[in-house]
Chain A
Amino acid sequence: MTVARVAIKSLLSRKVTTVLTILSIALSVSLLLGIERVRTAARSSFESTVSGVDLIVGARSGPVNLLLYSVFRIGNATNNISFESFDEWSRHKNVDWTIPISLGDSHKGYRVVGTNQNYFRHYMHSGSQKLKFSSGQTFEQLFDVVIGAEIAERLKYSVGDRIVLSHGSESVAFQDHYDKPFTIVGVLKKTGTPVDKSLHISLKALRALHLDWQSGAPPRPGEEVSVEEIVESELVPSDVTAFFVKLKSRIAVFKLQREINNYQPEALMAILPGITLRDLWQTLGTAENALLVVSAMVFFVSLIGMLIALLSTLNERRREMAILRSVGAKKGFIFTVLVFETTLLTASGIALGVSMLYFGLIVGKPILETKLGLSLGLMAPSNNDFFYLISIFGGGLVASIVPAWRAYRNSLGDGLTIRR
């Protein structure tokens, strides 16, 4: 008589409890691994929001603040920096290229970024992905705009559409630039970064929008400058909000950072994006850990559920054990049957849970990619996953000791006769 045969037959005779127990383990396994997937994907997509940039330079404030407005386009700069400073640093001997970022305008809640062609040539995200156009191309005419994938999708814009930008950002946009409409000339491919939510125009166009503005105030009646009256040569930007710097050699990065921080004509600050991104994620890490705690608790509860399911059947099973002992089954046999049952339950739960996870990934992948810009690869379980699976399995084994031990004790006390 094999342990497996008794255990399997006995489990099958309690189909409902068995199926429910397996299901609850499976659910917690897929939840735990799923959360883990999303967590690592979120982290890596976050940390690669901008890559290939050695320094980000802005007016002196907090590093996180600078990162937030220059990369994530969240919040505003307290100060802009002069175009002369930007120009001077762009021509520094160690600098390979720079990308200016000029914020301030918006369109239906999406931020407008004033920049130059370097943005499309050099900006990188998610490792070494360059920006790609899903349709159209970069801006050439003054009132051309290139929009991110999310804007095109949400607002149903395509190349050739004409749109009007607003002064101010997000909720505080108060004045539309009705007199100077833009033509969409390009739509970028999805990146899963804030680029998807940005509209890109040239620095000159940004200047043209505000030619007739006086220190942040809309033009007084009679002082407006119409599109026809604009003179190209006058379109020299006065300032930028921040700029990205790529060095010819990374070795010089700390030296240049120090030089920029000590720049006399203006108070500038240079940050290393990778380090600041990581710092920022650490701050957000509490939420991340909370997720992990929740899934650990889910798993714990399902183990308790399994324990309850096993213990509650144990009383019925005293007869079973007495019968087995009367035909010569040793005490160890009883113990092993119980442990085997739990092992089988946990193993089936894990197998089902992992299949459910991959099924969910296949079904959910496109949704997560388009809605959240999270790319969850269908990769094999990671070492981390295996660690979780092994702990779950171990947890199941440890939990199985309780009912097994009780069955063993019962079979000693009961002997061969059950008085019920």
Chain B
Amino acid sequence: MQSILEIKNLKFSWPGSSAPLLDIESLQVDKGESVFLQGASGSGKSTLLNLIGGVLVPQEGSVEVLSKDLVKMTAAERDQFRGDHMGFIFQMFNLLPYFSAMENATLPCQFSKVKKARTLASGGSVEAEATRLFAELKLGPDVLKMKNVTQLSVGQQQRVAAVRALIGKPEIVIADEPTSALDADIRDRFIELLFLECEKIEASLLFVSHDQSLSSRFDRTIRLSDLNRASQAVSSDRELGGSL
């Protein structure tokens, strides 16, 4: 099995703090694998995703995505690499308020030639591909035409964000608590659709949540506290904070 992500001996601490927040000996994700990353609030899940996305750089160790070490790249190369090979969905505020749903969804193709080329290769235009994805995610033409995306429901906004994460067939889709703002019913449908689409484009899915009940559908569940050697030392107060 080809590995998509490989982290080795990673150590990261935020500037100004003495103790490392993350100390991970190894983390490996295969192509097409879906991974559920579970951890308490404040345990460093989002920080880890920023490291994988190449926005943050660890003080030690390597972060290899598609066999390329992000740590060795320049900042601009990392930005480009992220645009070309990853798709992101966040908990909230996924959309640029002054762009339409279509403009938001096709944003990655504006920044990445790779994604644009892949989208065009699947036939038709970028807009046609987005329209197809919208339909798969059960977003009708009325949503597409909506000028003001802030008028969409949170569930609709998350699906527009999913279209944006999926367009251009990224190798890895990273979702940071994308369902926390959704109620149970909508959440399950959303995850269902996300899984389906990731399978179609053979993307690995890295899904972060503190909601244990979602873990059963994933190929693998990782507890950050098991993975992170730094968490043992400081976990007590973090776990406490997280349960609030």
Contacts and interface: CB of A to CB of B under 8 A. Distances in A.
Contacts of B214: none
Interface string B90-113: 110111111100000001101110
Contacts of A330: 75-76, 79-80
Interface in B151-174: 164
A418 B93 contact: yes
Interface stretch (A6-14, A176-184, A188-196): A6-14
A1 B110 contact: yes
Contact of A327 (B49, B55, B164, B176): B164
Contacts of B111: 1, 327-329
A326 interface: yes
Nearest to B104: A323
Contacts of A418: 93
A39 interface: no
Interface residues of A, number: 22
A210 interface: no
Contacts of A319: 93
Q: Is the interface of A mostly helix, strand, loop or mixed?
A: helix
B46 interface: yes
B112 to A, nearest CB: 5
Interface string A54-69: 0000000000000000
A12 B53 contact: no
B56 A415 contact: yes
A325 B110 CA distance: 12
Contacts of B190: none
A328 B108 contact: yes
B90 A328 contact: no
A418 B98 CA distance: 18
B11 interface: no
Nearest to A420: B93
A106 B107 CA distance: 81
A62 to B, nearest CB: 68
A322 B94 CA distance: 9
Contacts of B95: 323
A332 B75 CA distance: 10
Interface string A295-339: 000000000000000000000000110111111111110000000
Contact of B79 (A322, A323, A329, A415): A329
Interface stretch (B81-89, B127-135, B229-237): B81-89
A324 B49 CA distance: 16
Contacts of A256: none
Interface string A1-38: 10000000110110000000000000000000000000
A328 B83 contact: yes
User: 8 smallest A-B Cβ distances: which pairs?
Assistant: A328-B83, A1-B110, A13-B98, A328-B111, A415-B50, A326-B88, A330-B79, A9-B98
7 contacts: A9-B99, A13-B97, A13-B98, A331-B76, A331-B79, A416-B53, A417-B91
Given A10-B98, A416-B53, A417-B50, 8 more contacts: A323-B95, A324-B107, A328-B80, A328-B83, A328-B84, A328-B108, A330-B80, A416-B176
